Structure 1
């Protein structure tokens, strides 16, 4: 394989892993520990 192809695959893999981690944090089990600061202040 060419160097450019390997770099593109590596960057794509990083992007996919970061996106999946962000989605897991937002909607998965750890999301139960997140706080919503707008509910804390009220109107």
Structure 2
């Protein structure tokens, strides 16, 4: 395996992992602790 190919695969895995973690944080169980600033200031 060439070093450039291994670097590309590791970068892709890191990007997919971070994206999955962001989706889990936004929509999964940790989202209960998130606050919506627009709901705090009702007109």
TM-score above 0.5, yes or no: yes
Q: TM-score, normalised by structure 2?
A: 0.95
Deviation string 1:1-43 (CA, Å, 9 cap, x unpaired) is 0011000001001001100000000000000110000010111
Task: Give me the whole-angstrom Cα distance separating, in 1, the residues matched to 2:23 and 2:39.
Answer: 22
Alignment of 1:2-41 (within 5 A): 2-41=2-41
C-alpha RMSD of the superposition: 0.5
Extract unaligned runs of 5+ from structure 1: none
Q: TM-score, normalised by structure 1?
A: 0.95
Extract unaligned runs of 5+ from structure 2: none
Structure 1 ranges of 4+ moved more than 4 A: none
